[in-house]
Amino acid sequence: METWWPAPAKLNLFLHITGRRTDGYHELQTLFQFLDYGDSLKFECREDAEIRLMDSLNNVELQNNLIFRAARLLQTTCNIRSGVDIYLKKRLPMGGGLGGGSSDAATTLVVLNSLWQCGLSKQQLATLGLQLGADVPVFIGGHAAWAEGVGEKLTEASPPEPWYLVVKPDCHVSTAEIFSSGELTRDCEAITISRFLSGEGRNVCEPVVCKRHPEVAQVLDWLSQHGPARMTGTGACVFVSFDSQAQAQLVADTLPDDWQGFVAKGCNVSPLNASVMKLTESAIS
Ligand SMILES: C[C@](O)(CO)[C@H](O)COP(=O)(O)OP(=O)(O)OC[C@H]1O[C@@H](n2ccc(N)nc2=O)[C@H](O)[C@@H]1O
Ligand SMILES: Nc1ncnc2c1ncn2[C@@H]1O[C@H](COP(=O)(O)OP(=O)(O)OP(=O)(O)O)[C@@H](O)[C@H]1O
């Protein structure tokens, strides 16, 4: 049976920076939630040790592709002699703050850990994944989470699961560039999840991104007509929540032509977890 594995998007429901480490990485607080929308990957084991990506990405060299890097990292760490052909259906915009690259990497680690029978625990996979990006561990954990540290200290959380309209302005934001900006607020007071749930919290990257990319400010303004709109991660995507899919779709249908958008449901359990569980159940029964 041909299995396509989900690599869902994430939203940062808020993003505060509380400090900076000596290696330049930022200490942050954020609440991650998944969307039932994302990329899909298919894996076919090979007897030789080659790792092949059957679908390339524009402007991303093979050696830099997080899918290739994840597969190679696992293969080397666990001394695996097999290889793999990997197919990708890319739906998530790159540089959108939706964590597409990190999610692709996490799905690759989770699925190959099983196909190659590496036997690593989720915790070991998350530690390995952190080498590839700050957002990889939450995708491996597979549960909505309150995150601290550089994004790796995770506590499972269960915020409401509304429908979202997510809009991608026509620009690409570099995470490293925003984090290196002198104008970024880096001294947020630490808050608790209950303070966030009762209305505190914002995305401190928003003003910096809006200044450099006015189109993000335009999308935020436009979406604010329909509710409190917020940017995810370091942008460029902006989201607003609705009680129903129909309400979100109604607004999506009125989006200006040059902005791409999609409607998706917030999920506290990652669609990847759900697929892995289904496979385990069918293997047992
Ligand atoms: C902004 C978030 O998306 C929030 O979820 C993540 O923290 C960013 O995660 P990511 O895209 O996986 O980021 P990485 O690939 O690890 O880092 C990209 C660059 O962002 C900066 N960076 C990232 C994460 C962090 N906590 N502090 C940082 O200063 C670093 O300059 C790094 O070189
Ligand atoms: N498989 C991949 N999918 C997407 N981007 C990749 C991949 N591999 C490497 N990259 C590189 O990573 C960069 C960031 O891509 P990604 O889609 O993860 O951004 P993002 O959504 O802004 O992530 P984040 O929210 O984690 O900052 C891309 O511009 C691209 O150069």
Do 165 and 210 contact (CB within 8 A), yes or no? no
The pLDDT score that the predictor gives to residue 274 is: 80
Ligand 2: which atom is nearest the Cα of residue 65? 8
Ligand 1 neighbourhood includes 69 CB (under 6 angstroms): no
Atom 18 of ligand 2, residue of closest alpha carbon: 101
The pLDDT score that the predictor gives to residue 275 is: 81
Closest CA to 4 of 60, 61, 43: 43
Cα 133 to averaged position of ligand 1 atoms, centre (Å)? 7
Atom 18 of ligand 1, residue of closest alpha carbon: 176
Q: Which residues are catalytic?
A: 10, 135
Ligand 1 neighbourhood includes 151 CB (under 6 angstroms): yes
Mean pLDDT per block of 10 residues along the chain (285 residues) reads 92 97 93 98 97 94 97 98 98 95 98 96 96 95 96 95 96 93 95 96 98 97 97 97 98 92 98 81 60
Q: b/e string for 203-215 if b means 16 or more Cβ within 10 A?
A: bbbbebbbebbeb
The pLDDT score that the predictor gives to residue 2 is: 81
Q: Tell me the three state secondary structure of residue 209.
A: helix
CA separation (Å) from 157 to 145, 147, 198? 5, 10, 15
How far is residue 3 CA from its own chain's centroid? Answer: 21
Ligand 2 neighbourhood includes 29 CB (under 6 angstroms): no
Q: Residues marked as binding for ATP? A: 93-103
DSSP line for 232-251:
-TTSS-EEEEESSHHHHHHH
Cα 236 to averaged position of ligand 2 atoms, centre (Å)? 12
Domains in the chain and their CATH numbers? 5-157+269-284 (3.30.230.10), 163-267 (3.30.70.890)
Ligand 1 neighbourhood includes 28 CB (under 6 angstroms): yes
Q: Residues marked as binding? A: 93-103
Q: CA–CA separation, 159 vs 164, rounded Å?
A: 14
Ligand 2 neighbourhood includes 9 CB (under 6 angstroms): no
Ligand 2 neighbourhood includes 203 CB (under 6 angstroms): no
Atom 30 of ligand 1, residue of closest alpha carbon: 176
The pLDDT score that the predictor gives to residue 152 is: 84
51-53 and 83-89 beta bridge pairing:
parallel
Ligand 2: which atom is nearest the Cα of residue 60? 31
Q: Which ligand is nearest to the CA of 100?
A: 2
> Looking at this predicted complex, what is its ipTM?
0.94
Ligand 2: which atom is nearest the Cα of residue 92? 17
Q: b/e string for 38-61 if b means 16 or more Cβ within 10 A?
A: bbbbbbeeeeeeebebeeebeeee
Task: Show Cβ contacts of residue 168 under 8 Å, excluding neighbours closer than 6 positions.
Answer: 93, 96, 236, 237, 259, 260, 261
Cα 102 to averaged position of ligand 2 atoms, centre (Å)? 7
Cα 221 to averaged position of ligand 2 atoms, centre (Å)? 26
Ligand 2 neighbourhood includes 8 CB (under 6 angstroms): no
